[in-house]
A and B are shown apart, each in its own frame.
Chain A
Amino acid sequence: MIRVIIPYHLKTLARISGEVQLEVPPPVTLFAVLDALEAHYPMLRGTVRDHTTGRRRDFIRFYACEQDFSNEPPDTPLPHKIATGEEPFLIIGAIAGG
């Protein structure tokens, strides 16, 4: 089971609290996790990545095991600890100053 932590505002949209847990068949890649997230929570489509292009929205970042995957290709495999659920995959909203 893949664990995913999403920002507060996306939790309210999806009407959930806490972590998201997703079944993702191997290989566990960046986009495989996002595909599974959007399949379970269709109201999140377009909020993390563009509907049409699939491009990450500018103020969203992807972190896993203390690494930044934000600019990695969609088929990038995520670390083993993500695939096993030992560590969560983090979807982060950029900090706004001021």
Chain B
Amino acid sequence: MSGIRLLVGTRKGAFILTSDGKRQKWNITGPHFGGWEMYHLKGSPIDPNRIYASQTSGWFGQIIQRSDDGGKTWFQPGTPPGQEAKTPEGFPMGESNKFTYDTEPPDGKPLTTHQWYDGTQHPWEFKRVWHLEPSLTEPDTVYAGVEDAALFKSTDGGTTWHELAGLRGHGSGPQWTPGAGGMGLHTILLDRTNPNRIYIAISAAGAFRTDDGGKTWTPINRGLRSLHIPDPVAEVGHCVHRIAMHPSRPDTLYMQKHWDVLRTDNTGGQWTEVSGNLPSDFGFPIEVHAHEPETVYVVPITSDSLHYPPEGKLRVYRSRTGGNEWEPLTKGLPQENCYANILRDAMSSDSLDPCGIYFGTTGGQVYGSANSGDSWSAIVHDLPAVLSVEAQTLP
């Protein structure tokens, strides 16, 4: 029987939640890396026991961890599992933690500055990995979205990383500006039908697409309208919170922006607002049903100033029409006194039938639905603030 594994990253460690295909009883392990901020964990689609994790700290910087046994044991790539911590001769020397911005892109121009809060140019400074996206075809290949915004790639299982510098090398790079939460590259979407196509999104620069494996990039922000920037329809500068895609329809994307929920059906060439009857179109995560490409989930948040659900009622909204027509999903969710937030990487779906939907809150709850959102229950109540949730469907 199939099983589900949820990889949960929190402010104070990682937790792994497992269940059989019924998704009623859950086993919880953790904290893994207790005390560390675990921004994101994600497993390889073709080798689910290969899991990459971003471990970070304001004190000690960035660590990349990897498990090859489904999260039972972990090691820093380059330091083999079970190995004595002391270095035998010839070991890679901690390169798995090293994210160095490329200063010599193909065009020869140094990629050294972006726009700072005061309008001046500011050097790019690596802070942390926000998101890890394993390759769809090769377990040793994984992408990392980082703050300050850049895309890195490893082809040796996370042992070494190199930047796909064409993204920052896009002519708009010096116009990118961090939002209040930093300038992070938080979304990486890989296209199953076209290995050279990648979509990414950056707060607060916007969304970009490459069709040549990351060498060159195109801003895909036409149709976005953001009142917090001088030109509301500028090519870049939009605070995209999250993009989602159904694997069977890689030309269609759904976006939760700072405000507004949108969709595109032509690979980002034009976006159309589909907020419809949502009580608020501010929010962070957006997710697509595993089997229904037109079924989409969001969690409305009151506003950019009030990062909690409207009226203290935690409601997931589902559209079965690809947007515009939304229904509240409340069964099993608190309908009073809920003032937690749901962050952009903290919602995920499994691929069982019926589809399971999961999300975590900054209040430390992880909620799950085994029936496409019709009803919910708390899998766990009192974790540290949840930063990310990834569901793995196990054979």
Interface residues of A (CB under 8 A from B): 7-10, 12-16, 38-48, 51-52, 57, 59-60, 93-94
Beyond A51-B100, A57-B59, is A43–B94 a contact (Cβ under 8 Å)? Answer: yes
Chain B residue numbers with a CB within 8 Å of A47 are 60-61, 63, 97
State whether the Cβ of B57 lies closer than 8 Å to any Cβ in chain A: yes
Inter-subunit contact A93/B59 (CB<8 Å): yes
Cross-chain contact of B60 among A10, A15, A16, A42 (Cβ < 8 A)? A10
Chain A residue numbers with a CB within 8 Å of B93 are 38-39, 42, 45
Give the top 4 A-B pairs by smallest Cβ distance, nearest first: A45-B94, A47-B60, A42-B94, A46-B97
14 A-B residue pairs with Cβ-Cβ distance under 8 Å, sorted by A, are A7-B60, A9-B60, A13-B63, A15-B85, A16-B85, A38-B94, A40-B86, A40-B87, A45-B93, A45-B94, A46-B61, A47-B60, A51-B98, A57-B59
Beyond A13-B63, A93-B59, is A42–B100 a contact (Cβ under 8 Å)? Answer: no
Inter-subunit contact A93/B60 (CB<8 Å): yes
State whether the Cβ of B78 lies closer than 8 Å to any Cβ in chain A: yes
State whether the Cβ of B36 lies closer than 8 Å to any Cβ in chain A: yes
Using A12-B33, A60-B59 as known contacts, list a sample of 6 further A-B pairs with CB atoms less than 8 Å apart, ordered by residue number in A: A8-B35, A9-B60, A42-B91, A43-B63, A46-B61, A47-B63
Inter-subunit contact A41/B87 (CB<8 Å): yes
State whether the Cβ of B302 lies closer than 8 Å to any Cβ in chain A: no
State whether the Cβ of B372 lies closer than 8 Å to any Cβ in chain A: no
Q: Is the interface of B mostly helix, strand, loop or mixed?
A: loop
Inter-subunit contact B94/A46 (CB<8 Å): yes
* Chain B positions 26 through 56: 1 when the CB is less than 8 Å from some CB of chain A, otherwise 0: 0000000101100000000000000000000
Q: Tell me the nearest residue of chain B to A44, going by C-beta.
A: B94
Please indicate which of the listed interface residues A8, A10, A44 has the most CB atoms of chain B within 10 Å of its own CB: A44
Shortest distance from the beta carbon of A77 to any chain B beta carbon, whole Å: 25
Shortest distance from the beta carbon of B22 to any chain A beta carbon, whole Å: 35
A40 CA to B79 CA, complexed, in Å = 12
Chain B residue numbers with a CB within 8 Å of A60 are 59-60
Inter-subunit contact B98/A42 (CB<8 Å): no
Q: Tell me the nearest residue of chain A to B62, going by C-beta.
A: A46
Please indicate which of the listed interface residues A41, A44, A51 has the most CB atoms of chain B within 10 Å of its own CB: A51
Q: Tell me the nearest residue of chain A to B83, going by C-beta.
A: A15
A62 CA to B87 CA, complexed, in Å = 24
Chain B residue numbers with a CB within 8 Å of A44 are 94
